[in-house]
Amino acid sequence: MSEPSRDEAADKARADGGHVRTTPSSNSFFSDFWVNFVRWNLKAVRNPFVVVGSLVQPIIFLVLFTQVFGQIATSALGSGGGAGGITYETFLLPAIAMQVSLAAAAGSGIGLVNDMEEGMFEKTLVMPMSRSAMFLGKTAAEIMRIVVQIAIILVLGSVLGANVATGFLGAIGILGIGVLFSLWFIALSNIMAVVTRDQESTIIGANLLQFPLLFVSTAFLPLDSMPDWIQVVATYNPITYGVDAARALMLDQDVMTVVEVTRFGGIWDTLIPAIAVLLVLDIVLGGVMVYLLNRTSSSAVQ
């Protein structure tokens, strides 16, 4: 007599007690992680629109802003405090790198909603697989794409005339800042996905947050070149801290003006407070995301 399938076992468990009890995975944590890492990368390859779209838009921003506003913005940088003597290409590149992180991170929530709408989310939950490995594999796949896309932006920026003053190690540091910066928005996009359970709502919500936050930060102009009310908003804007950290590595100087820190010296006066703010955001929003995903997972298998 053949053994009942997993779906039949799940149906029987629902009939008996209302809960699906999954058996522990015989695989290792790493193998479960790897399966999900590969799965989400394959899913991105099969639906390249989101991946390409998250890269094309920042490239358009980089090319248009530098070519259309380059001379005017470079003059503004020269007359502004602390950023004189650099080209707008060099000034703008860290902001575009962080924009890539935002756009790519938004795809995390979209992918989760897609799974929910197709019924794949519930199917994966009844599999004998570590849930932590499942979610970490998904996040790692998204982080890998973010790293590749930021690297492409850095190469393109160098072609357009931008210069990383801290050299190759500085470029690696910008990649690291991009990953750290992306984690809070990955968490936020997944929170929106779990709350709305609707792909269109998640896309609209992510876009509504991205663009206003970009323009009321230090992404495109120095803080002292903006109106007073925008300076106040920029102080509490997470994008400001990600952009300032990347820009400090780009210029090899302390560029943070929203918070005055002088105890560490040089670019560390920007990097340490910026990294601290991003870490707090990652932990808080990541905790909320894990809580909501666990609650959703528990209700999905009942």
Residue 66 tokens, joined: 């530098």
The Cα 273–Cα 260 span in angstroms is 10
Does 218 fall in a domain?
Answer: yes
Does 109 fall in a domain?
Answer: yes
Does 118 fall in a domain?
Answer: yes
**Burial code of 161-188, b = ≥16 C-beta within 10 A, e = fewer?**
ebebebeeebbebbbbbbbbbbbbbbbb
Q: What's the domain count of the chain? A: 1
Closest residue by Cα to residue 130 from 37, 41, 27, 38 = 27
Does 236 fall in a domain?
Answer: yes
Does 115 fall in a domain?
Answer: yes
Q: Tell me the pLDDT of the chain (302 aa) as tens digits.
A: 444 444 444 444 444 444 444 444 456 778 888 888 888 888 777 766 666 766 777 788 787 777 766 666 666 565 554 455 678 888 889 999 998 888 888 878 888 888 777 777 777 766 767 777 778 888 888 898 889 889 988 998 888 888 889 989 999 999 999 999 999 999 898 888 888 888 788 888 888 888 888 889 888 878 887 888 888 999 999 999 999 999 999 999 888 888 888 888 889 999 999 999 999 999 999 889 888 877 776 555 45
Does 3 fall in a domain?
Answer: no
Which range of residues forms the domain containing residue 238?
26-300
Residue partners of 185: CB distance under 8 A and separation at least 6 = 101, 102, 105, 106, 206
The Cα 20–Cα 42 span in angstroms is 28
The Cα 19–Cα 298 span in angstroms is 9
Does 200 fall in a domain?
Answer: yes
On whether the CB atoms of residues 92 and 70 are closer than 8 A, the answer is no
Does 15 fall in a domain?
Answer: no
